């Protein structure tokens, strides 16, 4: 998990223009995706499909150095983040719990924030 002092979090805050709950959830999602799909800042063939939550997209953009063309925003009610790296695909289903403060995101487990995490082959 990225902590408050992590320089990567500072990069995400800079790209997003401020800190918020959505950005923090996005940072946590990036950590899971990077670990599960072995993605690094140098991975070139990553695409992300998510609801129109700009905060989440900004976290992926900042931490994985993605271009706008690698992010696809869909229905704002879609609470699933889909990340593809080659033939590997992962889905993270966002919690329906409303988090109001960034500290709540830091304290929550991955399972609380993303009750369903599915690895798939495309």
The model's pLDDT over 13-66, given as tens digits with 9 standing for 90+, comes to 999 999 999 999 999 999 999 999 988 777 778 999 998 778 999 999 999 989
**C-alpha dihedral (69, 64, 25, 102), degrees to nearest 10:** -120
Query: What are the boundaries of each domain within the chain?
Result: 7-121
- The first and second tokens of residue 34, run together, are 């990077």
CATH code, residues 7-121? 3.30.1330.130
Distance (Å, whole) CA 38 – CA 76:
28
Mean pLDDT is lowest, of 4-8, 17-21, 117-121, for 4-8
């Amino acid at each position: 998990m990225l902590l408050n002092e992590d320089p990567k979090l500072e990069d995400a805050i800079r790209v997003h223009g401020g800190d918020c709950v959505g950005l923090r959830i996005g940072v946590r999602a990036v950590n899971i995706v990077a670990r599960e799909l072995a993605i690094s800042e140098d991975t070139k063939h990553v695409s992300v499909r998510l609801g129109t939550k700009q905060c989440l997209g900004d976290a992926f953009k900042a931490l994985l150095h993605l271009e706008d063309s690698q992010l696809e925003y869909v229905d704002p009610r879609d609470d699933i983040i889909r990340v593809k790296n080659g033939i590997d695909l992962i889905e993270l289903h966002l919690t329906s719990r409303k988090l109001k403060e960034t500290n709540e995101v830091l304290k929550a487990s991955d399972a609380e924030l993303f009750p369903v995490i599915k690895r798939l082959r495309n």
